[in-house]
Structures are given as C-alpha cells and as structure tokens.
Amino acid sequence: MVKHHCNRDWQDAVIRGMYLTGKPVSDICAKVGLTTLTVNRHLAKLRQQWLADSQEEHAIRVSMELAKIDHLEETYWDAWEKSKASRVKVAIKQQGDPMVVVEKTRSREKSVGQTQFLEGVRWCIERRSKLLGLDAPERRQIFGAMTLQVYEQIVDARDGPMLPESTVEQLTDNVTDNVTDVLLEEIVEGEVAT
C-alpha cells in the first residue's frame, strides 16, 4: 500500500467523503493507504460521532420546541386573563331628523372568559408531556375469538405450570362452547401483548 499523505485530517476527510458516497472500504483503503482494519476503526469513530451529534441535535430541538410551547402557553394564559376582565358597554339612543343623541348609558358586564384560550393551554400541556415522554402508555381491552386449540392449552395449563393460575382462571371464565372472547391487552397504537 502506498501512503499518499500522512496528514490525518486529510485521511479523515477522504474516508468520510468516500464512505458517504458509497465507496467500498477496499477503495477507501487504496486511496488513503491504510489497512482495512484501520479504515474500519475510522468509520466506527465517525459513526459514534454522528450518533453523538444527532443525539445532541435532538436534545437541542426538543429544548427549542419546549421553549416555544412555554411561550405559547404564557400567551394563552395572558389572553385568558384578559378575556375575563369586565367590559364597559355603552348604549346610545338617537332620535329625530337629524339624529340627535337623546340618551347615553354605560354599564359594566362581567365576563367568564373565553374557553378557547384554556383549550390552547391544554394543548400546550399535552404537547409538552408528549415531548418529555410523561404520558403513560394507554391500555385498551379488545376481544377476539379463542379457538379450540387455545382453549385446550388453557385447560392443560391447569394441570401444569404453563400459565399462572390466576391467568388460567381469568381466561377459562370467558370460555363458551370451545370458542370464546378472550381479553387481550392492547398497548398503544395497535400492538397486542402476547
């Protein structure tokens, strides 16, 4: 192998560029004059750096989004408070030709606030919780048909340690005529626990 340059920065740049353009490791080795093992070590370090950079970038993006949500929530709260303020209502009664103001009345109206601002606050809280991963997985119950084979496995399990006794009792309580609805737990977005 011929070493074209001893400059490590040059080697790193060439390795990175050739790897990102899909060149085989053998071509990279020939270009930079290094062994396959050395080039693979360089590539492993590059992948680690890219992973660390992407994780840092993700953390920065999440922080930016959280700051935006915090600002938006503060704006919603301010709008909510303003919407609860009492308002002055002025009524003007006019008569005649030309119109002349005959009566002018002022009254104060109390406001209960505009609920769309609270909906905005709720959205901010939900979105923040989702970004931070604070929401627990939703548990849903679904029902499906149990075949005779599954039923026999449950019955056989009564005699052996195949399933915990409480599970066997819960499932066999639902059995009717060798076909039954069995309680399954669905954990978020359609994944069924087995």
Residue 176 pLDDT > 60: no
Q: Between 136 and 156, whose confidence is greater?
A: 136
Q: How far apart are alpha carbons 38 and 67 in whole angstroms? A: 43
Structure tokens, 181: 């609805």
Measure the CA–CA gap between 132 and 125, rounded to whole angstroms: 11
Of 44-53, 107-116, 177-186, the least confident: 177-186
Q: For the ranges 15-29, 37-51, 165-179, which has the lowest average pLDDT?
A: 165-179
Kindly report the average pLDDT of the chain as a whole number.
Answer: 77
Q: How far apart are CA 159 and CA 150, in angstroms?
A: 15
Which region among 19-23, 28-32, 75-79, 110-114 has the lowest average model confidence (pLDDT)?
110-114
- Rounded Cα gap, residues 159 and 165, in angstroms: 10
Give pLDDT tens digits for 140-172. 554 455 555 555 565 555 555 455 566 656 555
- Specify the 3-state DSSP secondary structure of 140: strand
pTM: 0.49
Task: Enumerate the domain spans of the chain.
Answer: 139-192
* Strand 175-176 relative to strand 179-187, pairing: antiparallel
pLDDT at 189 exceeding the cut of 50: no
Give the pair of three-digit tokens for residue 146.
């149990």
Contacts of 78 (CB under 8 A, 6+ apart): none
Least confident of 24-33, 61-70, 130-139: 130-139
Do residues 144 and 194 lie in contact, with contact meaning Cβ atoms separated by under 8 Å?
no
| CB neighbourhood size of 139 (10 A) | 10
